[in-house]
Amino acid sequence: MTAPIPSPIWQPAASRIIPISAPANLRARRLVPEIVTLSWAPKSSADHFDFSLDLSAILSQTGDYLAGIERVEIPTASDLPSQLAVLWSSVVQGLACIMLGGGTPGITEQIVVYVVTQQGRRLAPRIELAITSETDATEPTPPPSMDGGIPVPPNAIQLPDGTILTGPGGLPYLIA
């Protein structure tokens, strides 16, 4: 398996990384499973921040690494223009990283990040994110995008003429 490649361009914010740990041994658990709620540090509606998940503990000693983010869902989303939005998602330095903008002040949103590993494991951690009431509701600023509206994450490979290097499916190649 291919280990993560350090990105020379962009670093995920260390203060917004949540480690996803492996569940306790089933024999050591009680009959009723423990419910653990994971949450990122709150953000205001006006903020555009990267939030990351570190799956290295759950993949420890498997020889497996994160391969990609299949999709990101916000099941608590509304139809408001200022609703929390995923601006882009990418694997950056082995982390599942998403850029979020907007959000309804005073609301706690749920985000589900569907990831796949190089060996085909699929995980879908659910994370909560509180939107503070410090600013008014703000529409998220759209990220740079390619033709067809495909967002360009900061670790996309850019050619000297400024074009983004893409694969057969039209998705950008990433330094991941």
Domain residue limits at 101: 14-130
**153 is a domain residue:** no
Q: How far is CA 19 from CA 14, 44, 127, in A?
A: 11, 23, 11
The rounded distance, in Å, linking the Cα atoms of 144 and 164 is 11
3 falls within a domain:
no
Q: What local confidence, expressed as pLDDT, does residue 21 receive?
A: 84
Backbone phi, psi, residue 138, to 5°: -130, 135
* pLDDT for res 147: 83
Residue 46 has what pLDDT?
94
Per-residue pLDDT of the chain (176 residues), as tens digits, is: 566 766 667 789 999 999 998 766 655 555 555 566 899 999 999 999 999 999 999 998 888 999 999 999 999 888 888 999 999 999 998 999 999 999 999 999 999 999 999 999 999 999 999 999 988 999 999 888 888 888 888 888 888 998 889 988 888 888 86
Query: Does any domain span residue 76?
Result: yes
Asked whether residue 147 is assigned to any structural domain, the reply reads no
Residue 140, domain member (yes or no): no
Q: Residue 163: inside a domain, yes or no? A: no
**Are 134 and 45 spatial neighbours (Cβ–Cβ below 8 Å)?**
no
On whether residue 54 sits in a domain, the answer given is: yes
Residue 71 to residue 111: CA distance in whole angstroms: 11
- pLDDT confidence of residue 158: 86
Q: How many domains does the chain have?
A: 1
**Would you say how long the chain is, in residues?**
176
Residue 145 pLDDT: 87
Domain assignment present for 160: no
First to last CA, the chain: 13
Find the CATH number of the domain harbouring 63: 2.60.40
Q: What pLDDT is attached to residue 150?
A: 85
The pLDDT, as a whole number, for residue 26 is: 55
